Structure 1
Amino acid sequence: MGVHGIPLRTLAGQPASLADFAGKVLLVVNVASRCGLTPQYAGLQRLHDRYADRGFSVVGFPCNQFGGQEPGSAEEIGRFCSTTYGVTFPMFEKIEVNGPRRHPLYAELTAVASADGQAGDVQWNFEKFLVAADGAVIGRFRPGVDPHDDAVVAAIEDQLPG
């Protein structure tokens, strides 16, 4: 159900899917290493650390569609994320989130409206989508919304057990 069955590849190029995370609440984020919002990696990692033991994970999808701000190879992206921000949450292959080559995952995600009632294209790097444990897309937060914004934290906590 939901996004779990969509084929993906890890940042290392291995076949994967979000079914590997079935039963977990996910925050799916399109990320970039050379963006003014790149410091959000730190907040995303803190969220991941804070809630991981309660069945939550951040998952990152590098994207180079916004100002060419993610030009690196998979190895360069992985090295940057781990050494600069201590990222340990799962990262997947670089994909397109808008346009005719939009990844099927983002076709599902972008059908969901944000708090302002707007669905459709991702606006920029670091747009966040909340996915319930059953794979249903249940929330969307625009790029400028900080990972620790009260609305994001409340939405995550609302989905987690105990």
Structure 2
Amino acid sequence: MTELKINGQLTQLEVSEDMPLLWALRDVAKLTGSKYGCGKGICGACTVHIDGQPMRSCITPMSYAKGKSVTTIEGLSEQGDHPVQQAWQNLNVAQCGYCQSGQIMSAVALLENNPNPSDEDINGAMAGNICRCGTYPRIRAAIKQAAKLKQADEGAQS
């Protein structure tokens, strides 16, 4: 039995400690927003946050996630109104959409650490998140818009 926090809820999963976190999330916890892409941690479709850090869940064993806090795309916002999600919708970023949960989770982590990223910062943080449809210019624009939305939200709460 592996105990961890998933999207803020203490969860116990009956899985092997060497099972990849992605399969525990998708097959056992029934959280299917994180996608299987390459199985090698290089495409980014499976990106989740573990204790606030973006990680590739397809290569992360349950033994690593044990006792930690995991956030999936489903845990970002119940209403889908996180600033990054809003910007993605406003700018119609998704084309096929397969990579988008991983892209969004990487963008959220970037903005948590850098509230006003440059193009170079965005390129560095998003490197390794592959979009087969090539929506990279829209992704960059959405990250910049999300940064402004996030700053506006934080200013309104002050």
Structure 1 and Structure 2 fold alike (TM over 0.5): no
Report the TM-score, using the length of structure 2 for normalisation.
Answer: 0.29
Higher relative contact order (CA 8 A, sep 6+): 1
Report the TM-score, using the length of structure 1 for normalisation.
Answer: 0.29
Which has the larger share of strand?
Answer: 1
Bigger Rg, structure 1 or 2: 2
